[in-house]
Structure 1
Amino acid sequence: MMTRVDPIESLSAGRDRRDRAIVIGAGLGGLAAAMRLGAKGYRVTVIDRLDVPGGRGSAIRQDGHRFDLGPTIVTVPQLYRELWAACGRDFDEDVELRALDPFYEIRWPDGTKFVAQQDTAKLRAEVAKLAPGDVAGFDRFLDDSARRYWFGFEDLGRRSMHRLLDLIKVLPTFARLRADRSVYAHAASRVKDEKLRMALSFHPLFIGGDPLHVTSMYILVAYLEKEFGVHYAMGGIAGMAEAMGRVITDQGGTLLMETEVDEIVIRDGVTTGVRLASGLEMGADVVVSNADAGHTYDRLLRNHKRRRWTSKRLARTRYSMSLFVWYFGTKGTRNDWSDVGHHTILNGPRYKGLLKDIFIRGRLCDDMSLYVHRPSVTDPSVAPEGDDSFYVLSPVPHLGHDNGVDWATEEPRYKEKMLKVLEDQLLPGLRDKISTEVVFTPETFRDRYLSPFGAGFSIEPRILQSAWFRPHNVSEEAKGLYLVGAGTHPGAGVPGVISTAEVLSQLVPDPEVVR
C-alpha cells in the first residue's frame, strides 16, 4: 500500500525546501529517478494524478482479475539490480523474476509459426524450419545486433547526449553501423524470407516505432533478449512499481497520489518548484518531469518562453502510434487452449502495408496484428482459480492524423473484429467464456496519461529523434529542471526508461552542491 499524503500537509511540512526534489509522474522512469535522487540524499516527493504508482506500468483489478496495463516483460535484469544496489537494496529480495523460455510465439494466418527462444541451436532450428536458406544471414544479423547493443545501449544509452559535441564524436560509428538504415531494411539485407524479416524487425513496435523507419540501431533488441533472457515479474510490472515505491518511502520520500501538477514554476531562469492543479505551490531545488516530454514542454511550461522545445517544434515532432488494448477475463479456461503460452503474436495478412496505414496514412484498417498476453500460465494470481486474464493489443494510429478515428463509434466495431481474429486463429469459443473486460483506446491514453495525441510510447525513436535530437535529460529551458521517461534519451522501452534515471543521476549535483 502506498502512503497518501494531503497536499496541504506536504506543503506545510516542506517550507524548508533545502535538498528537496520533486518528481512529476510515478511512471517507471519517475520512480527510478526518485530512487536515484533518494540515494544521493535528496528528500523526494513524487506527484502523480493516478491512484497507484506505475503509470503505464500500473494495473487495474476487476472482478478478481488483475490486468497489467502496459509493459509485460522484464529484459536486461541487471539494470534493476544496479538500480536497487545504488539504493543499498537487493532487487531479488523485493521482486521475483521468472524466466520465460520460449520468449514468445509468432503465428501467421497460414498456420506458420516461429518460436523465439534463448538456446542458439533451437533458435537456428526455428530459422531453418521457416527459411532454410537464411540461417547464415540470421547468424550475421545476430552479430550485427550484438555490436549495436554494446554501442547503442551500453555506451550511448547510459550517458547523457545533451551536448552537440557528444553527437559529433559518434557520427563515424553511426555511419559504420548504418544507423541511417531502418530496422526492416537491415533485416532485409541479411535474410530473404518475408516472414523471417518480420520476425527480426517487429521489435520497434514494442517501443512505439515504425520498423520501416526506426533506425537500425534498435536491432540490438535481438541480442538483448537472447543474451539476458526475457522475464516476467511475479505480481506484474505493477508489483515491481509498488516495490519501487516502497524503496522511495523507506528512503524518506513521499508518494503524493491523486494529485496533478499544473505547471512547473520558473523564476529568473531557475526552477523553483511546481504549482498543483489546486493552486498550491510546492518548492524544490530540483524538479524532474516524468510526464510525457511533449506535455512537459507544451503544457507544464506553457507560461515560460522556450528556446528549444517550442510549440512549433513539438508540432513537427513525430509521435509513436497509439494502441487499442482489450483486457478481459475468462471463466474456467485455465486448462483450455493448451497451445497458447504466455506471449503470442498474431500477424495479419499484411506487414509493410499495415505499418504504412498505422504510421503514415493514419488509417484504421479491417486487418490487424495482435500481441496476446496470457500471464495466468506463469502467474496464477492474476485471475480467480481456474480462470484466465488476457491482454490483447493492436497498434493503431494516434489521434493526430488529419483523418482521425471516431473511437466512440469504432470501439465496439474494432473489438468485434479483434474477437473474430482471436477465435479464428488462437482462442476458439472465446466469446462465450468472457466474464469481465476493460478497453483502452487512444483516447484513454490521451486522458489517463496526458499523452499527446494518445501516443502509446511518446516520441517515435527515428534517427533524427534519437540521442542528441531527442529531448535531453537536462533541460535547456531552466536551471534545476530535468526530464526522464520514454520521450527522453535514451528512449522508449522499459530498459530505456530505467536508463533515463541512471543518466539523470549523473547530471543532478549532490545536495550539498545545490545548497
Structure 2
Amino acid sequence: MQTNTPPRAAVSNEKSVSTAIVIGAGMGGLAAAMRLGAKGYQVTVIDRLDMPGGRGSSISMGGHRFDLGPTIVTVPQELRALWALCGRDFDKDVDLRAIDPFYEITFPDGSKFTASQSTEKMRAEVARLSPGDLAGYDKFLKDSEKRYSFGFENLGRRSMHELWELIKVLPTFGMLRADRSVFAHARSRVKDPRLQMALSFHPLFIGGDPLHVTSMYILVSFLEKEYGVHYAMGGVAAIAKAMAGVIESQGGRFVFGAEADEILVRGGRAAGVKLTDGREMMADIVVSNADAGHTYDRLLRNHAKKRWTPAKLKRTRWSMGLFVWYFGTKGTRDMWQDAGQHTIVSGPRYEGLLDDIFMKGKLAEDMSLYVHRPSVIDPSCAPAGDDTFYALSPVPHLGHDNGVNWSEMAETYKASVLKVLDERLLPGLADRLTDNQVVFTPETFRSRYLSPVGAGFSIEPRIFQSAWFRPHNISEEVPGLYLVGAGTHPGAGVPGVISTAQVMDTLVPPAPRPMPRAGAGADRLVAE
C-alpha cells in the first residue's frame, strides 16, 4: 500500500503501547527493530531507500542482481539466536550455504594462498608457501582464539558506555598487546610477506588499516575457522528481506522513501523524528541506524552536544572509501575456472598501498582487488550461462586535503580495474562485458548512505576509536536515543552490526504493556 502520510508511530487499540522509531533499515536497524518488537514495542522503521538492507541491499539490471555490500555471513548463530528471540526459525526463512574454501589470494608472483575451514589444510598451505613459518602460524591461531574469546564473546556483547567498563579491561588489553597493530602481530609470527598479508588483511573488511588497527582484530582468523564462512542464497539482501518479514509479523511497519532530517527532542528526551519534507513522527524512543557521525552532526544539529561535537567529529579518523564496479558478463559461466566465489587479487605493494589509502589520501596507480562471483553458487543472480561480478578496490575517503574528484576519475579508474582483472584473473573480460554495469565511488556512499566523507564503514576501528571510545549504543547526548550500526560499539561487519542491536537490547527497558500482534501481512508503506 502507498501513502503520502507516514503512519503515527503508535497505532493500537490499547491506550498504553510503547512505541519506537528506527531510523534506517540497514542490518543494524533491522536487528534493532526485531528486538524491540520482541520486547513489546510497536516499531516504525523509516528509510530513504525503497527496500530494506541499507548497504546490504541489491540492484537488479538486465537479469543480473548486484549485491551492493556484504557478501558473506560469519557467526551464523548470531542470526539464528535473533530469529529465535522473535519466536522464528532462521533456517526456514533463509537458505544459508557453507562455503569452503573461503577465498583465494593471488599474489603478483603467481603464487596463491587458499583459505579454508580445515586447520590441517591451512597448515598445509602455510607449509607449501613458507615451511619455516608453520610454528609461527600455529602460535598466531592460538593468539587469534584468545582475542576472539575476549574481544567478541566478552566485549562485543556488552555495553561499553561507562568508563569503568573500560578501566576494568585495561589489564587484559595490555596482556593481549592491543597496542600492537594487526600487521605488526602477524609480522611477529610469520616472516614470509605473503603470509603476513594473508593473516593481516581482514580489518579491511570492516574499514580498518591493518597497519594501525589494534591486534584484537586477528580474532577474525579464529572466527572463520570455528564457524565457517557462509553465503545466503539471494544475497545478504535476502536476509534483510526476511528480517523485514519478521518485523512485519510483529506488527512493525516500514516507511520507505522517507529521509530523517532531525531527531526531535522534547522535555530533554528524544521524542520522535522530523522528515525532510517537514512531517513529524513521534515515539517513546528513537533508535538511529544512520551513521553515528550523521546522527550527531546532522540529525542532532539543533541540540547542544557534550561529547560528539562537530569539532570532535572533524578529528575522527574514518574508514577508507570504496570503489566498487558491479558488472555482468555474457556466456562466461564455464570460463575463468581460477575465479571462484571470492578472490583477492593482491597488488605489488601492501604496506605502501595501505599508507597511500589511509594516511596520505592518495589514489595510487596500483591496487588490490576483492572480486566476488556469486553466480558460482547462486544461479539466481545472473541469466543462464552468464555471470555477475563485483570488483572492490579500497581507496581514500573524501575527507583528505587532496580528495579525489570521482566525477572525473571514475571511468579512468574503472579502466585500470579492468586491466588488472584482465591480466590477473579474467582474461578477455572486455569482450565479455554486458551493458549491465554499475559503479559506486566514495561519492556514492556519501549520497546514497549519507556516510560522512564517503567512508565505506563509518569510524575506523582503531584502539582509541573502539569500545568506550566509540559512539555508545545508548546516547550520552539525549536520553531516549539509542544507536546501532557500523559506527557504534562493537563495530562493522555483519556480526558486528547485529551485535550492536544486541547491546542496545540490554539498555532499552521492556515495553510496560504488550502490544497486540499483527499478522504476517502487516502493511509496508512507501512515502511518496
> Aligned partners of 1:508, 1:424: CA distance in 2, in Å?
53
Aligned partners of 1:7 and 1:256 also within 8 Å: no
Aligned counterpart, 2:444 = 444
| 1:131 CA displacement | 1.0
Q: State the AA in 2 paired with 1:476.
A: E
Counterpart of 1:499?
Answer: 499
Q: Equivalents in 1 of 2:447, 2:426: separation in Å? A: 31
**Alignment partner, residue 279 of structure 1:** 278
TM-score by structure 1 length? 0.98
Instruction: Tell me if structure 2 keeps the 8 A contact 1:29–1:485.
Output: yes
- Conserved in 1, the CA contact under 8 Å of 2:10 and 2:17? no
Q: Post-superposition shift, 1:5?
A: 5.1
Within 2, Cα distance between the matches of 1:345 and 1:442?
A: 21
Structure 1 CA distance, aligned partners of 2:241 and 2:129?
Answer: 42
1:253 equivalent in alignment to 2:248: no
Counterpart position of 1:165: 164
Q: Deviations over 1:214-260 (max 9, x none)?
A: 00000000000000000000010001100000000000000111101
Matched residue, 1:487: 487
Does 2:5 align with 1:7? yes
| Superposed CA offset, 1:169-191 (max 9, x none) | 00000000000000000001111
Aligned to 1:60: 59
What is the 5 A alignment of 1:139-158?
Answer: 139-158=138-157
Aligned to 2:116: 117
Q: Hey, what does 1:23 align to over in structure 2?
A: 22
Task: Give the Å deviation of 1:380.
Answer: 0.5
Deviations 1:281-328 (A, max 9, x none): 111001000000000000000000011100010000000000000000
The letter for the 2-side match of 1:360 is: M
Judged with a 3 Å threshold, the aligned counterparts in structure 2 of structure 1 residues 87 and 11 are, in CA distance, closer, same or farther, namely closer
Distance (Å, rounded) in 2 between the aligned partners of 1:268 and 1:512: 20
- Residues in 1 aligned to 2:139 and 2:424: alpha-carbon distance in whole angstroms: 33
Once residues 93 and 325 of structure 1 are traced to their aligned partners in structure 2, the CA distance between those partners, rounded to angstroms, is: 32
**Which residue of 2 is the match for residue 127 of structure 1?**
126
Please list the CA deviations of residues 311-362 of structure 1 after superposition, one character each: whole Å capped at 9, or x if unmatched.
0100000000000000000001001111211000001100000000000000
Q: 1:230 to 1:459 in 2, by over 3 A?
A: same
Provide the C-alpha distance between the structure 2 equivalents of 1:513 and 1:473, rounded to a whole number of angstroms: 24
Partner of 1:475: 475
Gaps of 5+ in 1: none
CA distance in 2, matches of 1:316, 1:45: 34
Q: How far apart, CA to CA, are the structure 2 residues paired with 1:459 and 1:4?
A: 36
Equivalent position SS for 1:391: strand
Alignment partners' CA distance in 1, 2:352 and 2:16: 54
Give the CA deviation at 1:8: 3.9
Match of 1:288 in 2: 287
Opposite residue 284 of structure 1, the aligned amino acid is A
Contact 1:272–1:284 at 8 Å: present in 2 too? yes
Please state how far the C-alpha of 1:17 moved relative to its aligned partner.
7.9
CA distance in 2, matches of 1:174, 1:326: 39
- Structure 2 counterpart SS, 1:511: coil
Give the secondary-structure state (helix, strand or coil) at the position aligned to 2:144: helix
| Displacement after TM superposition at 1:268 (Å) | 2.7
Shift of 1:10: 4.2
Structure 1 residues 47 and 389: CA distance shift in structure 2, 3 A:
same
Post-superposition Cα deviations, 1:152-202, rounded to whole Å, max 9, x if no partner, equal 000000010000000000000000000000000000111111110000000
**CA offset digits 1:19-73 (Å, max 9, x no partner):** 1100000000000000000000100000000001000000000011000000000
CA gap 1:296/1:164 in 2 versus in 1, 3 angstroms = same
- CA contact 2:10–2:18 (8 Å) conserved in 1: no
Name the residue aligned to 1:368: 367
Name the aligned partner's letter for residue 279 of structure 2: L
Counterparts in 2 of 1:374-385, with a 5 A limit? 374-385=373-384
Distance in 2 between the 1:481 and 1:503 partners?
Answer: 14
- Give the counterpart letter for 1:256 in structure 2: V
Is residue 343–residue 370 contact of structure 2 (8 Å, CA) maintained in 1? yes
For 1:396-440, what per-residue CA distance to the aligned partner results, in whole angstroms no more than 9, with x for missing partners? 000000001111111111000000000000000000111120000
1:35 matched residue in structure 2: 34
Verify the 8 A CA contact 2:17 2:513 in the aligned structure 1: no
State whether residues 106 and 114 of structure 1, in contact with CA within 8 Å, keep that contact through their aligned partners in structure 2.
yes
1: distance between equivalents of 2:73 and 2:289? 20
Aligned CA distance change for structure 1 residues 130 and 5 (closer, same or farther; 3 Å): farther
CA positional deviation for 1:7: 3.1
CA distance in 1, matches of 2:6, 2:446: 28
CA distance in 1, matches of 2:136, 2:103: 22
The separation in 1 between residues aligned to 2:386 and 2:153, in whole angstroms, is 41
Q: Distance in 1 between matches of 2:193 and 2:514?
A: 55
Report the residue type matching 1:488 in the other structure.
T
What is the CA-CA distance between 1:13 and the residue it aligns to? Answer: 4.7
**Partner SS state of residue 438, structure 2:** strand
Give the match for residue 93 of structure 1.
92
Structure 1 residue 9: deviation in Å? Answer: 4.2
- Decide whether the 8 Å contact of 2:9 with 2:43 is kept in 1: no
- Cα 1:353/1:17, change in 2 over 3 Å: farther
1:259-284 per-residue CA deviation (whole Å, 9 max, x = no partner) reads 01100001231111111111111110
User: Is the CA contact 2:44–2:255 (under 8 Å) kept in the aligned structure 1?
Assistant: yes
- Size of the alignment, in residue pairs? 513
Q: What is the correspondence of 1:254-333 to structure 2 with a 5 Å cutoff? A: 254-333=253-332
| Distance in 2 of aligned mates of 1:315 and 1:514 | 43
CA contact (8 A) 2:41 2:514 kept: no
Aligned partners of 2:229 and 2:506: how far apart in 1? 28
